[in-house]
A and B are shown apart, each in its own frame.
Chain A
Amino acid sequence: MSQMERTYLDPDINMETTVYWESAKNGKLLVKTCKACGKLHYYPRTICPHCLSSDTDWVEASGKGTIYTYSVMRRTETPYVIAYVTLEEGVTMLSNIVECDVDDVAVGQTVEVVFRDTEGGHSLPVFRPA
């Protein structure tokens, strides 16, 4: 049985993260890279958490990844899958797994990004089995 989906809460958005959420509306998942040290990071900051350089830039992720771990929240009106997804690019992000039978999710499963509208009309990256 494919899961019903929750109503997604709006993200807190600030001046450091506007680009991320605007890009999500265009179907793009962004991560931050640092021109000084060359490393990616997530969640995105203006200042690189690896080296404190302010010379950071947005890059589009492929949207493909694997499930590092997950849990199915059962005791809620609409059960849902929360997961950490490790992107091909090497950073791991918290997300939800959708368009799946909640009983068939597995660690190591390959997934791809899709986007869902939040209650206030923002766009939220989530993942489905690839």
Chain B
Amino acid sequence: MVRPTKAYIAGVYEHPTRKAIDKTIPQLHAELAAGALADAGLTKDDVDGFFCDGTGPGLGGISMAEYIGLDLKYTDCTETGGSSYIVHVGHAAQAIADGKCSVALISLAGRPRAEGLKTLGARTYGGPPEAGFEMPYGPAVVNTYAMAAMRHMHEFGTTSEQLAWIKVAASHHAQHNEHAVLRAVVTVEDVVNSPMIADPLHRLDCCVISDGGGALVMVSPEIAKSLGNRSVKVLGQGEAIKHLNAGQVDLTYTAGVTSGRIAFEEANLTPADMDYASIYDSFTITVLITLEDLGFCARGEGGKFVSDGNLISGIGKLPFNTDGGGLCNNHPSNRGSMTKVIEAVRQLRGEAHPAVQVPDCTLALAHGTGGQIGTRSGSATVILGRNDA
């Protein structure tokens, strides 16, 4: 069948750097723009919409647009942490459908590694109202995700070995990616024997820290038609947030429950229809809970679902993160959903590494999580289809 779509992803580009000592953030954005536009077969002057997160230097997207030299009709700088770029995909699709713009550039760039930023320590967000009741207790990215993992283990009997399978699968894929930060194939034993960082998460349950970024070019159906058949359809998108709910805390799920339902409903598809999934993998537990949230398995069954190589391309039922994901390949600017979309597009174009390419990949999902699932976070899901889907 030929499914209707509001917009296409026509160009993608993942910056090859993983440590950008010699590049500024604006420079990275401009290099990304050039890369994604070249991939689409478009030029800078075709761009009339620009989307970035809240971390770009300057005022929203305006300073970055000025640096890149964009003449725009439309900008959107919605900030939901690492899920921002899948939020942007949905907003760009709607803006294109509404005629507000016809060629949208979505960009993410950062250099936490070059700047020596740790993610271990407490982060401040400029005095949000909850800060006084959290910061003195030493919350960090890793220990708040760890608390979600600990609760999942308590309620459902999930084990460290099951979580480790997620890293094992990512490493099997990363061995084929020449740009990946970690290319060594690891075993379940390697993961559970790596140093404990924040119980129950070990070092190898964590993603890499890397610089660089990625960009997407989205276009109207008319422009996509003029660009040949490499464009990928945006079939459905959903986004939602979750927080601590006035003290009624449940860390066993994320807003992916909502974003996934909305995206699947819009696409009129189900998890069983997906040939491939890019799942945000800041930590192994992020993947496990997200798979449950999106309905790939029942609540509490994530541990069984990810075990025994079920996420490994060519072996398991649900090939995931075939670039090696954030766990092994790249997690630019500590934000993961951009690279999730890029690898899903590669799969749908048949341009993933041959060793991990899913045969006849027609329908794919990309999911992002932003913030911390142990406190407050944003989730965004996009369902993508091959040009002829």
Contacts and interface: CB of A to CB of B under 8 A. Distances in A.
B132 A11 contact: yes
Contact of A69 (B134, B139, B154, B201): B154
B246 to A, nearest CB: 4
B195 A41 contact: no
B146 A71 contact: yes
A19 B196 CA distance: 39
B143 A82 contact: yes
Interface string A29-47: 0010000000111111100
Contacts of B198: 71-75
A74 B142 CA distance: 11
B132 A42 contact: no
A14 B195 CA distance: 40
- Please report whether the interface of chain B is mostly helix, strand, loop or mixed according to DSSP: mixed
Contacts of B133: 11, 17, 42-44, 93-94
A57 B345 CA distance: 53
A107 interface: yes
Given A92-B248, A92-B249, A94-B137, A74 B150 contact: no
Given A69-B151, A75-B195, A118 B136 contact: yes
B137 A71 contact: no
A10 interface: yes
Interface in B91-134: 120, 122, 127, 129-134
A110 interface: no
Contacts of A86: 249
A50 B245 CA distance: 9
Contact of A73 (B138, B251, B375): B138
Interface string A85-126: 010001111111000000000011000000000100000101
Contact of A12 (B131, B144, B154, B249): B131
Interface in B187-210: 195-201
Interface in B205-258: 244, 246-249, 251
B148 interface: yes
A72 B138 contact: no
A6 B247 contact: no
Nearest to B202: A74
A80 B120 CA distance: 13
B147 interface: yes
Interface residues of A, number: 47
Contact of A107 (B134, B144, B154, B196): B154
A75 B120 contact: yes
Nearest to A122: B136
Contacts of A45: 129
Given A71-B143, A94-B134, A107 B249 contact: no
A9 interface: yes
Contacts of B129: 14, 16, 43, 45
Contacts of A126: 137
A84 B374 CA distance: 10
A125 to B, nearest CB: 10
B135 interface: yes
Contact of A80 (B138, B146, B249): B138
B138 A43 contact: no
A41 B120 contact: no
A9 B139 CA distance: 12
Nearest to A12: B132
Contacts of B249: 68, 84, 86, 92
B372 to A, nearest CB: 11
29 contacts: A9-B135, A9-B136, A16-B129, A21-B132, A31-B247, A44-B133, A50-B246, A68-B151, A69-B151, A69-B154, A69-B251, A71-B146, A71-B198, A72-B198, A73-B140, A73-B142, A74-B197, A75-B195, A76-B120, A82-B139, A84-B249, A90-B247, A91-B247, A91-B248, A92-B244, A93-B247, A94-B139, A96-B137, A124-B137
Interface of A: 6, 8-14, 16-17, 21, 31, 39-45, 49-50, 68-76, 80, 82-84, 86, 90-96, 107-108, 118, 124, 126
Given A9-B135, A71-B144, 20 more contacts: A10-B136, A12-B127, A12-B132, A17-B133, A21-B132, A40-B247, A42-B133, A44-B133, A45-B129, A69-B147, A71-B143, A75-B120, A82-B137, A82-B138, A84-B147, A90-B247, A91-B248, A92-B248, A96-B137, A107-B151
